[in-house]
Structure 1
Amino acid sequence: MGVSSSHLSKAEVQEILGITSFGLWRLVRKYDDFPQPTQPPHGSARAFGDKKPAEEVWDGTQLYRWAARTPEFSHRGALLARPLPEEVAPGRWGGYKDTTRGPASDWHTAVGTIRFVHNDDSQTATKVATALAEAGNPDGVRTVCALYGDIGITGPALVATDVTRPRIEYEARWGVAATLAGHELPWWPHLLRLPHVIRQWQPGAATTIAKVPSNDNEVLLRRVAANTIFESSSHLAATHMANQIRNERTDNIRHENETFGETEHPVIIAAEPDTTDHPLPTNGDRKTLKSGWHRLALSNHADAVAALEVAVGREPALLPYGAVTEVPALSANIAERWARRLTMCDPTAAHAVLARGDSPDAFFVDPLTDMPVLRTSDQDRKPLWRFYAPLSLPAGGAELASVVLHHTVWVTTSDGHVHPAPCTPSAHLWWGDGWGDRPSEAATVVNTLLDNLGATVNLDKHWMAPKGLTALFNDEHKQGSELTRSTLLHARMTPPRQR
């Protein structure tokens, strides 16, 4: 979350500190550490053509914290940044209050009521404090604290806002708030900050054991796993990924609790995840999982589309597709030769994910590799082909005849076919000077296919590609350049020249 920025005009600085314009002039000269003014934030409204110098402003958080630590103005500065008295009477717990950002707990302390909102969304403290101020602050709250989303020196980091200055946020220390409360303060892990869970805590209460809530992806995958329209292998694939998600969420909660519940901090971990069935099984046979995802990719059911989008983001290696590739749909080039063999078809889930929200002109499949293809337009409304690169090519006894460089790497074979070069889902194939990087991925693919046209490419160690091939692809070849088999073989066996 972090502390949101605020800026104060000269008049606002004077009002906060209770001084006149002349007093501000004297203050700057009296205190060497008085915050320096700055220019208004970028985007502040000014009249068009106004050439007058912009009025100086002060960083609200910086000014407010300076006042808190300066004896002359500490009573006007940030409440929880002021020095604590030597002896602090313990506070008492004041129960829960509903806010626009969820339930908040009140603590009645020696400096007034502090309201804790267990939320780390941006501007939570400001918005809750503003709502209180606008309602006349019926509960007499002095300060609103929200979570920063990180850990500080004395416990979870806090963002505070005093109700009298709701626009100014500042970072507060958990240890200071706990000292004022006179009690260790409760903290809930992110996924268990649920109203019904938070409301179960009060001083002396046992730690709540709470069921880990499902996220949208898990709900979707379990719906797919229960839908009889899909085959059993798809049920297994969806269940496997749903179980992965549940296990990760449970482990994340446990890790958060370990991190934020360090013993030297005055923190009470108020909720733990229910681990009765943890971990759920995720040891499915990989061949079966891949088959299940392939069948979902061929479906035209809306849930199959949504499930495939989850799989693409989480574990694309389970899908039978390589990297998404785009090339212009122009005539008289290598891509046009390839496009002649495409077969028009009804869209599948794989096509729908490939479309990325566009409205394609038509849907196709490559009959030799089974790769989904669509024809759409780029941002300039020029036609283009978008397709998944294959993971491997059909060999049938043929060999690589040449490589053509046209917006990606293309392979021509000795039996007269043209294919996009195979590529793994997370890589891309290119050539030329990559601003210091070298096109070793393309070199690795070509090196593999020179020996076995039907091999499945592996780019895990692409930097180990033959140096001569890498050097060849590092040259700035023109679009449409063709590199023959003999050229490629010669480059593979020839060390690159020193430049």
Structure 2
Amino acid sequence: MGVSNSYLSRTEVQQLLGVNPFGLWRLVRKYDDFPRPTESPKEPEEVWDGFQVYRWAAHTPEFAQRGAVLLRPLPEDVAPGRWAGYKDTVRGPALDWHTALGTIRLVHCDDRVATDIATEVAGRGNPDGVAVVCALYGDMSFHGPALVAADTAHPGIEYEADWGDVAALAGQDLPWWPDLLRLPHLIRAWEPGAPAVVAKVPANDNEKILRRVVGNDAFDVTSHLAATDMANDIRNNRIDAALHDNEIFGKEGHGERRNPVVIAAVPDTGHHPLRSDGDRQVLEAGWLGLALSTHPDAVAAIEVAVGRQPDLLPFGALTEVPVRPGAISERWAHRLTMCDPTAAHVVLAQGKKAEAFFLDPLTDMPVLRTVADHDGKQLWRFYAPLSLPAGDAELASVVLHHTVWVTTSDGHLHPAPCTPSEHLWWGNGYGDRPSEAATVINLLLDDLAATPNLREHWNAPKGLTALLNEDHKQGTELTRSTLLHARMTPPRTR
């Protein structure tokens, strides 16, 4: 979103201002505020910022009629414009106003469309006499929504325009739709004086995926409940977003004058809010069922959950470790059980080609073997567990090999547990310290079965953090006694 940059050659500046080379030489000396040339980002010759020249012309009486249409001084006692209906454009429906400066076409889209539409209009010969195309900038300005404009005379030069100026030229408040209700049929149906339409906020792709799971008898009731809960949360968030947009963009403006904005649509809140945030144990059981499923709908649902609420899923951070004979990971790999891929495996792969699929029988974590993009060497790719099976065992040591590994007093080996949104590392972090790993180790020293919470990892014991901040070699083992000693020892001050 925003105003795109444009650059003009010397010849293009002359054409825009209607002067010859001598005329350009003359006005550079006549006007101290004439924009200076700059180095071209692509060409060896000097160029001018198109917007600066266009704005300068609009503010300079001698060249005002060659400057940006909506930056020129407004005529005194400007005659009110009139609404001219909607026009379908290459970027959706727009509303036209016939004004004293020509037809202004307002497109209710904030995806850098002003230049696209002005170029298309000019290329068709401009049958509707459009002088300028305005599109939403995606932000709020002093007198209403911010606008980016492009004139059909010079569609490649974009500039910011004032909503209040456009409204003054149109002679009426201008309609505005919240982002999620910026629907073509609503824009086409609008007329001046029409009340705000109550409209249903359309479902996005994520909600559709989850509703599809709810309607699929291949899944059990807990999976239906989990998918319904997240789908309802998405719908509630989208309705709240539309209400918030209307509140922000429809509020009174700066000073005593209100913004000349007409809210054209409001979200249907007849059943809002839908029930969500259900029993966490039920939701986690439902997502576990989906993670273990082999149905394509389960894959799509898990992908939604990974991006939206990964803490409901039964696995932690995505981790990669090279397949290396003799490494600590080889010992772990010997216990893996080969299996058919589940939804969790497919999401774990993230489009990478998998050579084989596995399950860790002690933690139930999905694992796959793949190859690295940069060198083609084999990798173990897996989700870290959220917690470890402990029994009566305790942490015996930690091994540092591309992640943190935990050996236990009963002879087992595990990737250290981690939350879905963090990662475990050690060494010089160029100012950042490995307090996440220190927090996990500190917790497991006291309770091997504990589930880490890394929201306040910066409060990890300073001695443990200092130990892990050292650049240990791959495969370094830190015994329990070493870790306990570090936990009790304050780091040395420099």
Separation (CA, whole Å) in 2 of partners of 1:478 and 1:283: 45
Matches within 5 A, 1:30-429: 30-42=30-42, 44=43, 54-122=44-112, 124-263=113-252, 264-379=258-373, 380-429=375-424
Please name the residue that 2:255 is paired with.
none
Separation (CA, whole Å) in 2 of partners of 1:400 and 1:297: 29
Separation (CA, whole Å) in 1 of partners of 2:434 and 2:124: 63
Matching residue's letter, 1:83: P
Separation (CA, whole Å) in 2 of partners of 1:68 and 1:108: 20
CA displacement at 1:283 relative to structure 2: 3.1
Instruction: Give deviations 1:342-369, integer Å, cap 9, x for gaps.
Output: 0000000000000010111000000000
Separation (CA, whole Å) in 1 of partners of 2:383 and 2:277: 28
Separation (CA, whole Å) in 2 of partners of 1:278 and 1:56: 58
Matching residue's letter, 1:489: L
Matching residue's letter, 1:196: H
Report how many residues are paired.
488
CA displacement at 1:154 relative to structure 2: 1.3
TM-score after normalising by structure 1: 0.96
Matching residue's letter, 2:430: W
CA displacement at 1:219 relative to structure 2: 0.5
Instruction: Give deviations 1:400-421, integer Å, cap 9, x for gaps.
Output: 1111111111111111111101
Matching residue's letter, 1:401: A
Matching residue's letter, 1:461: E
Q: Does 1:444 align with 2:439?
A: yes
Instruction: Give deviations 1:276-325, integer Å, cap 9, x for gaps.
Output: 01111113101000000000000011110010000001011001101011
User: Which shifted more, 386-395 or 452-461?
Assistant: 452-461
CA displacement at 1:40 relative to structure 2: 1.8
Separation (CA, whole Å) in 2 of partners of 1:454 and 1:86: 77
User: Structure 1: where are the runs of 5+ without partners?
Assistant: 45-53
Matching residue's letter, 2:21: S
Separation (CA, whole Å) in 2 of partners of 1:343 and 1:424: 24
- Matched position secondary structure for 2:217: coil
User: Which shifted more, 302-311 or 199-208?
Assistant: 199-208
Matching residue's letter, 2:243: R
Separation (CA, whole Å) in 2 of partners of 1:483 and 1:134: 71
User: Structure 2: where are the runs of 5+ without partners?
Assistant: 253-257
CA displacement at 1:200 relative to structure 2: 2.4
TM-score after normalising by structure 2: 0.97
Separation (CA, whole Å) in 1 of partners of 2:39 and 2:462: 54
Separation (CA, whole Å) in 2 of partners of 1:490 and 1:385: 32
Q: Share of identical aligned residues, percent?
A: 71
Matching residue's letter, 2:122: A
Contact kept in structure 2, 1:159 and 1:169, CA below 8 Å: yes
Matching residue's letter, 1:31: Y
CA displacement at 1:205 relative to structure 2: 0.6
Matching residue's letter, 1:402: S
Q: RMSD of the TM alignment (CA)?
A: 1.0
Separation (CA, whole Å) in 2 of partners of 1:38 and 1:431: 47
Matching residue's letter, 1:16: L
User: Which shifted more, 476-485 or 487-496?
Assistant: 487-496
Matching residue's letter, 2:229: H
Matching residue's letter, 2:15: E
Separation (CA, whole Å) in 2 of partners of 1:455 and 1:71: 75
Separation (CA, whole Å) in 1 of partners of 2:149 and 2:101: 14
Separation (CA, whole Å) in 1 of partners of 2:153 and 2:458: 60
Matching residue's letter, 1:98: D
CA displacement at 1:129 relative to structure 2: 1.3
- Matched position secondary structure for 1:179: helix
Contact kept in structure 2, 1:200 and 1:208, CA below 8 Å: no
Please name the residue that 1:493 is paired with.
488
- Matched position secondary structure for 2:62: coil
Instruction: Give deviations 1:419-440, integer Å, cap 9, x for gaps.
Output: 1011111111111121111111
Please name the residue that 1:470 is paired with.
465
Separation (CA, whole Å) in 2 of partners of 1:144 and 1:455: 60
Q: Which runs of 4+ in 1 moved over 2 A?
A: none
Separation (CA, whole Å) in 2 of partners of 1:283 and 1:356: 28
Separation (CA, whole Å) in 2 of partners of 1:125 and 1:399: 64
- Matched position secondary structure for 2:194: coil
Separation (CA, whole Å) in 1 of partners of 2:140 and 2:456: 38
Matching residue's letter, 2:453: N
Separation (CA, whole Å) in 1 of partners of 2:59 and 2:114: 22
Matching residue's letter, 1:73: F
Instruction: Give deviations 1:347-396, integer Å, cap 9, x for gaps.
Output: 00000000010111000000000000000011210111011111111112
Separation (CA, whole Å) in 2 of partners of 1:450 and 1:355: 32
